[in-house]
Structure 1
């Protein structure tokens, strides 16, 4: 199916303008394609980082939960709950901002804001509950990984949106604009060729008539 033709006058000026527009569109498509490749490369990198962090986070939480179950088996559920109640709650907040990423894209940025380590130490005795204290510290450090993973996920989502936009722009140029230019250029070239042929026929007719008049005048003058 041929592309829709643009509504233009079939003149040489329009033909030159369309060819320039087609060349410009092809150049823009090439630039967008290069940007798309950079974005896809960055997306793969971000996904790999997120996968590594997610796996590390899962392993840490799984190990922590396993140690927590063992602590309950050794000390009893009630003892573990009593020790947990003596711990200082972890007070934190998440600060949101933006960071400039690949191709100048503004990515959401999350940063964990928490109290100083000294203020967050648990009020537990190492002799009473060494495992609980160790695992509580591990859970505390996990919060950094959770926020970092959230930032990576937000960046991945932003990259996917930009990639989708770039692809739509490229497809519009490659499968709509350029075919329209080609169809219109072919139409103008065809019309100009037809006009040239008609002009050539008209010139030959005029030349023949002029020749006939000259010959007739010559014959009349000779008589």
Structure 2
């Protein structure tokens, strides 16, 4: 590790020691943040896997039931049932902070259209299998939103973990060793200078003593 290009003075030594203390403290804080991010990330990944399996299995079953129920009806009747939506869904998004990472939170507002002369989905015109399939698909909306929430949060946290990891590694393997090596170099230079000064003073003292004896 190459040392920093600085003058070996006591002022530089104090400055570098202060930088080393700050870098060491920052490294600990970042390492703690990285560990906590990893802990929460792993927790979210497990939750994501469980919820994804639930959602996928539920949607597959619902779609299979719907296709089976649809086969029992006339295509024109089915198309008429879904020609105009009977509900309107509004999506609202907010954000919250997890370890300084801004993650999304999603909410829905569902509005029932009022009765009019428009044709909406009608339970009286469909069969029970289709009704159950539609209800099952509608019920999966909350889980779908939660799944999207978790997956986006995982993506954002993975990016933050990677950035934090790079900063931790930079401090641990570059900045701190470089400061330590430079501090060691300056201390050796200062000690060498002090020994040279002591030796010079002793020689001067011996020379003055010899002059007095003469």
* TM-score over 0.5 (shorter chain): yes
Deviating more after overlay: 6-15 vs 52-61: 6-15
Quote the Cα distance in structure 2 between the aligned partners of 1:20 and 1:104: 27
- Partner residue, 2:91: 94
8 Å contact from structure 1 (residues 50, 152) kept in 2: yes
Aligned pairs for 1:130-169 within 5 A: 130-169=128-167
Q: CA deviation at 1:63?
A: 0.9
- Partner residue, 1:105: 101
Post-superposition CA distance 1:52-95 (Å, at most 9, x none): 1111111111111222343255x2xx536623522452432322
Aligned pairs for 1:40-189 within 5 A: 40-72=38-70, 75=72, 78-79=73-74, 82-87=77-82, 89=85, 90-98=87-95, 100-116=96-112, 122-125=121-124, 129-189=127-187
Post-superposition CA distance 1:137-181 (Å, at most 9, x none): 111122222222111111111111111111111111111111111
8 Å contact from structure 1 (residues 86, 124) kept in 2: no
8 Å contact from structure 1 (residues 22, 178) kept in 2: yes
Unpaired stretches in structure 1, ≥5 consecutive residues: 217-223
Quote the Cα distance in structure 1 between the aligned partners of 2:39 and 2:113: 38
Q: Does residue 16 of the first structure (1) align with residue 36 of the second (2)?
A: no
Post-superposition CA distance 1:2-36 (Å, at most 9, x none): x2222322122322332232122111111111111
* Structure number with higher helix proportion: 1
8 Å contact from structure 2 (residues 104, 149) kept in 1: yes
Quote the Cα distance in structure 1 between the aligned partners of 2:161 and 2:91: 28
Quote the Cα distance in structure 2 between the aligned partners of 1:24 and 1:189: 19
For the pair shown, which has the larger CA radius of gyration, 1 or 2? 1
Change (3 A) 1:84 1:54: farther
Q: CA deviation at 1:111?
A: 2.2
Q: Give the aligned CA root-mean-square deviation in angstroms.
A: 2.3
How many residues are paired up?
A: 208
For normalisation by structure 2, the TM-score amounts to: 0.86
